[in-house]
Chain A
């Protein structure tokens, strides 16, 4: 490092120590640091704007957006797991068949064995965890590349689906089970034009968020770290609160928050915490970034890899339950290609195909981009072939943009 560089660094340090960073500098800094996320949000808004115009506003209606969120839910749940898998440098090609198989098992238990909703879900999740454990065992201890293990899973699990369903669809599911995929939070006062319970939940979310932010700020001050100037802090808190209000508001003004979305929100929060705040999550990023360094740092790589695939199995199972509940049936082709949507969501959201980088929040944006394209083009009556082509090109463009951008920085 040359002296010139050291000098600029020294200056930077001075500004940091002297708290003389202007608001503009902070804004530019965050913008630069999170360019990827912001461009994807921007792209999502552009896509939404486009569909709103060509569908005469149908796209942006609260009814359609609620449906859009619901359609994305299963893929988004699977994509959360895919982020962890890909950050560790693996891939999971079995998601679609996994979703189909766990859905078929749930339907079989409910329709043929006449089990209740709770037993059905419990047994299905148990089986899903075992299947995840099975794949994880081969990856972690069998040292077979995840690509091969999950390719085998893709084939074998699909065989399982066909064996269970026998080529027919198994239906119908219980009402309570169905609600997971298509139900909305009930209103307390049915006379209102909006969902009061959903609005209440929105308020709770906002309060939780504000408490979290204030606690974080307090704790940083206690440690003597730099915090945002008060004006920016308030702007940030107001901005995020409005965003939460907007998203919940859209759903509340239609039928309310779908149960599937509540489930998804819970999964997003839990997996963001796992990825960013837990030792397990840090170990995943370290393994994906440099496996040898991770090993020498005292990380038990086999155990972490096993854990990742067990979690992936859990999420695929939940996705399978949501998917089956939404369709109210299990079919032989259920979930086909869902792994590709999950991978695409993760990659569009900034997950590196080489491992080491990726965020849960990013993959949710990616899932929304993919879901919006499906939904918007269906509204436009575009045929399936066009949908595939456009989705393919968007994926290509997103990754190209990322490579070009990250090279420059």
Chain B
């Protein structure tokens, strides 16, 4: 038997018009953590879908060998039987069910009578929850858990299935720093118990923290597999994008002008639990032609702060909002847009796009009034404006009549951006502007931001990625539990001092 627990040889998978995987070879040793890196669309997810049987044998060419024997899967069940468990970015838990029910979903412990053995299920789920160091009652409903805890439940579920190969697809995308740290720790522990892990992530610092080997995919081809100890982060990026990126953040000197927006004594209460204060007496200013970064941990209230300014967060909001010297009251997004505020949300699929609509209808959605007469839309103006944004933002699409759901993450983000730019905002709020998009597209988004600043727009950027905050902002506000705890100029900020204030330290 070879040293490899998993070998995928010469895998080629085609979709109509696209070769998603082109002769990919991917080998994983037993008991290692193997990272799979590549830009969006490089073929990582497709490769994992081939491995997990989502694309059954016969729909691709090539060979999958697990523990020395060639596999043939007709569905996910078959790959699970071979000991492969995959945990997707969008967690696949039934929120209304308990942790225990979820762990054994589709794999229920039954008595001889055919009825579910709840006592045994309960006991065993407690055991696997211990393994992932999740100290919760197995009868807790999943909807009461945080994202980080849900992730661990997914891992517990995989352990309960006796998975030997655990695949994690962007597991830390929605996790806080400490949750991520905890997750990585648990993966290391599982590794010591002999579980093999395939770790897919855009976040190279995590990859380098835990991976033994790194395989890089580009455009559906294997670029190479290297031991993590013999390659650097920049080399990996270079291999991913196929060229050396000299700088990840195109910092340009901005010349902030007069104050455009001022927020004074801003308070926001939870719409469901009015006694819970989410934003506590926040005050800040934004100047023309600057990028104001807002850093903080997940749950610090950054999104609630900007959404409430945008008029989209409950009604339990108090404080003063001054735009260009005039006090305004914004009760809903429509008024915000009219006042020149736009909000690019953190979740483009849920809050940004109408996925079933085409690009042109998405781009013009917030500006229909400007291109209509007597509420009748001028469809030529729709096409003209959309074409212009497709050119300006370099949205890659065969046609502006392409549905938003068919675009890659980076291009979807650009469509959302186009929608908001078309409203001609003075203040553009960007919540996690580059979440889940690849390095190349990130760089383009940064360039667009710089261009907007040159045009006199001011940008408020929320980001959980500290390098992004440090690399792009002119000023940085740090939030902790609903309060603004510190303001930095970008020159004086470091990852360490931001984190100190973000975690409540002084």
A278 to B375 Cα, complex, angstroms: 5
Q: Which of A53-61, A193-201, A292-300 contacts B (4 or more CB under 8 A)?
A: A292-300
Interface size class of A (residues with CB under 8 A): 35 or more
Tally chain B residues at the interface, Cβ within 8 Å: 52
Q: Are A295 and B312 in contact (CB under 8 A)?
A: yes
**Considering the complex, which residues of chain A in the window 212-261 have a beta carbon less than 8 Å from any beta carbon of chain B?**
219-220, 222-223, 225
**Considering the complex, which residues of chain B in the window 407-432 have a beta carbon less than 8 Å from any beta carbon of chain A?**
407-408, 410-411, 419, 423
- Mask, A272-292, CB within 8 Å of B = 1, is 010001111011011001101
Return chain B residues, CB-CB under 8 Å to A192.
none
Q: Are B380 and A219 in contact (CB under 8 A)?
A: yes
Q: Are A12 and B398 in contact (CB under 8 A)?
A: yes
A76 to B354 Cα, complex, angstroms: 29
| Interface of A: prevailing SS | helix
Q: Are B351 and A289 in contact (CB under 8 A)?
A: no
**Considering the complex, which residues of chain A in the window 9-49 have a beta carbon less than 8 Å from any beta carbon of chain B?**
9, 12-13, 16
Q: Are A300 and B377 in contact (CB under 8 A)?
A: no
Q: Cβ of B397 < 8 Å from any Cβ of A? A: yes
A1-B41, A279-B372, A285-B361 known; A223+B380 contact, CB < 8 A? yes
Q: Are B369 and A279 in contact (CB under 8 A)?
A: yes
Q: Cβ of A384 < 8 Å from any Cβ of B? A: no
Q: Cβ of B399 < 8 Å from any Cβ of A? A: yes
Q: Cβ of A385 < 8 Å from any Cβ of B? A: no
Shortest beta-carbon distance from B129 to chain A in Å: 33
Return chain B residues, CB-CB under 8 Å to A403.
none
A12 to B368 Cα, complex, angstroms: 29
Q: Are A2 and B333 in contact (CB under 8 A)?
A: no
Q: Are B365 and A297 in contact (CB under 8 A)?
A: yes
Q: Are A1 and B377 in contact (CB under 8 A)?
A: no
- Mask, B37-66, CB within 8 Å of A = 1, is 000111100000000000000000000000
Most buried by A among B365, B369, B407, B419: B365
Return chain B residues, CB-CB under 8 Å to A298.
332-334, 336-337, 366, 423
Shortest beta-carbon distance from A409 to chain B in Å: 9
Q: Are A289 and B219 in contact (CB under 8 A)?
A: no
Q: Are A277 and B366 in contact (CB under 8 A)?
A: no
Shortest beta-carbon distance from B221 to chain A in Å: 9
Q: Cβ of B379 < 8 Å from any Cβ of A? A: yes
- Mask, B225-245, CB within 8 Å of A = 1, is 000000000000000000000
A8-B17, A9-B397 known; A2+B336 contact, CB < 8 A? no
Q: Cβ of A170 < 8 Å from any Cβ of B? A: no
**Considering the complex, which residues of chain B in the window 46-100 have a beta carbon less than 8 Å from any beta carbon of chain A?**
none
Q: Are B366 and A2 in contact (CB under 8 A)?
A: no
A2-B42, A286-B365, A300-B332 known; A293+B376 contact, CB < 8 A? no
Return chain B residues, CB-CB under 8 Å to A357.
356
**Considering the complex, which residues of chain A in the window 319-372 have a beta carbon less than 8 Å from any beta carbon of chain B?**
356-357
A6 to B395 Cα, complex, angstroms: 11
Q: Cβ of B19 < 8 Å from any Cβ of A? A: yes
**Considering the complex, which residues of chain A in the window 373-405 have a beta carbon less than 8 Å from any beta carbon of chain B?**
none
Return chain A residues, CB-CB under 8 Å to B352.
293, 296
Q: Cβ of B220 < 8 Å from any Cβ of A? A: yes
**Considering the complex, which residues of chain B in the window 304-335 have a beta carbon less than 8 Å from any beta carbon of chain A?**
310, 312, 332-334
- CB within 8 Å of B: which residues of A? 1-6, 8-9, 12-13, 16, 219-220, 222-223, 225, 273, 277-280, 282-283, 285-286, 289-290, 292-300, 356-357
- CB within 8 Å of A: which residues of B? 17-20, 22, 40-43, 219-220, 310, 312, 332-334, 336-337, 343, 345, 350-357, 361, 364-366, 368-369, 372, 375-377, 379-380, 383-384, 396-399, 407-408, 410-411, 419, 423
